[in-house]
Amino acid sequence: MILTVTPNPAVDHTIHFDEPLEPGVVLRTDEAVFTAGGKGINVAKYVSALDVDATASGFLGGHFGQFIRDRLESDEVESDFVNIYDTTRLNTTVLASDGEYKLNHNGPTITDDDVDELVETVEANEPDMALVGGSLPPGMSLSAVDRLARAGEWQTAVDMGGSALAELEADYFACKPNRPELAEATGRTVESNEDAIAAAEELHGRGFEYVLASLGGDGAVLVTDDEVLSAPALDVEVVDTVGAGDAIFSGFLAALDHGKSDVDALRWGILTAARVVGVAGTRVPHLDDVLTSETDVDVTTIRTR
């Protein structure tokens, strides 16, 4: 079972305008989507759709927190959240003709008692893997993430910012940086795919068993103990990039949970991301072709290690 921990979840509010945003102009639309969001929550939704037992956890409070609980229940995703006093945040993505705009709240303040309860919740669920995803809310430090990783026998994966990846001290099973996060985590310039591979290998050398680097339109790179693999992104219509990184990590982790090879795990990640970018918000698309591998993804071995 995979337990996902989202310390700073959100209600994701996605709205679409056919015209550009302009200061002082009131724009109106009927196209609005509300979903339960946050990296760990997204992963719980996607891996559940890929036939993996998953439970979503983290901190929830207020009416937005209740919305997330209700939405996960309607999606038939198990959850076990820690209740907090403050209200869960609302994040808004505006899709306009001139670009994509993201407006995120910082989130509620977390206490030491809240962190203690979260550790107890993870222990009580006895997961095979714990995934910690997203930003940390005010009051929660990276030492709490290390504490979660060390609290039990489960493997721990993280999907966090580059500065966090550089500072975490516990042993971790996997991480999923994007290009800017690779640069921030290593202090390298990461412009080309070769730069990304070098940075991912450096992160692997710091103790991550798997480094899955998502490179947007350039696909992804996977660094393991034995090899460096690369796969291109599929040529699909992109509606919304929200959740794309979560999707590629979800497909990867789900494949490993199903006992697939590293090559197939990277393939599943690419396929899952291709389906997710085709829908607005973080709604779960049909993922049947991921499970059946009906769509081909060309995975290349860059080199053995």
Find the angle CA(296)-CA(302)-CA(305) to the nearest 5 degrees.
Answer: 125
Torsion of Cα atoms, 48 then 53 then 57 then 61, to 10°: 50
266 and 298 Cβ atoms separated by less than 8 Å = no
What tokens does 303 get? 């080199």
Which residue in the list 159, 246, 257, 262 is annotated as catalytic? 246
Residue with tokens 């995979």: 2
Annotation marks residue 51 as catalytic: no
Is residue 90 within 8 A of residue 10, CB to CB? The reply is yes
For the beta carbon of residue 68, count every other beta carbon within 10 angstroms: 25
Q: What distance in Å separates the CA atoms of residue 147 and residue 188, rounded to the nearest whole number? A: 28
Q: Are 284 and 75 in contact (CB under 8 A)?
A: yes
Judged by DSSP in three states, 7 sits in: coil
Residue 26: which residues within 8 A CB-CB, separation 6 or more?
A: none
Give the span between the Cα atoms of 78 and 125, in whole angstroms.
11
DSSP state of 217: G
Task: Please identify every residue annotated as catalytic.
Answer: 246
